[in-house]
Amino acid sequence: MNWYTVKIIYRITSGDGKHTAQFDEQLRLISAADEQAAIEKANSIGIAEQSDFFNEKEETVKWEFIAVTEINRLNSLEDGAELYYTIHETPDAESYTVAARRRSDLLSCRKHLNAD
């Protein structure tokens, strides 16, 4: 068996749907014999996990499976193994760096809060 990461996308609609479009992008770990089997498995998960439920306002919330949009084979499962990457290009490197460090600081704060 091989291991893959796949991106599954759902559209989230609340009530009458007259709101900013929302999409949930999930990276999932899949074990499969080959890439085609992994895609089929990911599609099955996407379909099976669609759901409708009521929110606190008694509006229907719908999670609609849209597609599997990415697949990446993992060479190994080991501590520190790279699972996914993306390259960002920006005209303002300093702003990107500052924002990344802020997100990192927030993670550190969360870690300390959870430890208490």
- Domain ranges for the chain: 2-75+83-115
pTM more than 0.85: no
Strands (E), 15-101: 22-32, 51-54, 60-74
Q: Please list the rounded mean pLDDT of every run of 10 residues in the chain (116 residues).
A: 94 88 93 96 97 92 95 88 78 91 84 63
| pLDDT value of residue 111 | 61
Cα–Cα distance for residue pair 70/74, rounded to 1 Å: 13
Nearest 5°: the CA angle 106, 112, 114 is: 100
